[in-house]
Amino acid sequence: SQQGEEDPQALSIQEGENATMNCSYKTSINNLQWYRQNSGRGLVHLILIRSNEREKHSGRLRVTLDTSKKSSSLLITASRAADTASYFCAFDRGSTLGRLYFGRGTQLTVWP
Amino acid sequence: DAGVIQSPRHEVTEMGQEVTLRCKPISGHDYLFWYRQTMMRGLELLIYFNNNVPIDDSGMPEDRFSAKMPNASFSTLKIQPSEPRDSAVYFCASSSGTSGSTETQYFGPGTRLLVL
């Protein structure tokens, strides 16, 4: 498959805990992005990490990228009930400019 | 900017009818994408345009689906005739490719289509 694969498919945690989601891919990439989708809404971009970067932070989000393992992780620290959503990774293969390849997503539920 | 605008937000139609979904991308963006999302198949790319020209339509399910982009500020996705299996949420997204790499895509709110 050309798409990314997220792991786990579903994650359920308590408020205050950290949530870690993983993404694996099979081709070389230019960049990898994470998106969030609240129920009934469109996807919203969270963060982009380029192939020459290893870690990036944005607020409570931390993204890592290991190009040797072809994997990325998204860490949400001190989670809140409002973080409940589906999270998707998407990558740019470089060979098809403009197009992103999306995974199936991880459904995160944060219980108050 | 108002973001990507899609209409209608909801559409209920009967099998065999023609359905037209509309999208207005963010001004200045040169890429436009049509996606379909279902529980079974996840998020699927149907077709995408660069500077109003279709680049890849390999995701279009069959000849019943067609998409056009007559100008930089408008695109349509048409299904004729519609079938119950076309029921899904259809998203339009746009992005800017001026950096030379694939950057952030901005998604519209989606059109929820139900074909009875």
Nearest chain B residue to A43 by CA distance is B107
Record: contact B56-A94, CB cut-off 8 A:
no
Record: contact B102-A41, CB cut-off 8 A:
no
Confidence (pLDDT) at A6 = 86
In angstroms, what separates the C-alpha of B102 from chain A's closest C-alpha? 5
3-state secondary structure labels for all residues of B55-81: EECCCCCCCCEEEEEEECCEEEEEECC
CB A72 within 8 A of CB A90: no
Residues of chain B with confidence (pLDDT) below 50: none
Residues of chain A with confidence (pLDDT) below 70: 1-2
Confidence (pLDDT) at A63 = 98
Confidence (pLDDT) at A1 = 47
Nearest chain A residue to B90 by CA distance is A42
Confidence (pLDDT) at B99 = 59
A interface residues, B as partner, C-beta within 8 Å: 30-31, 33, 41-45, 48, 88, 90, 92, 94, 96-100, 102, 104-105
Confidence (pLDDT) at A94 = 72
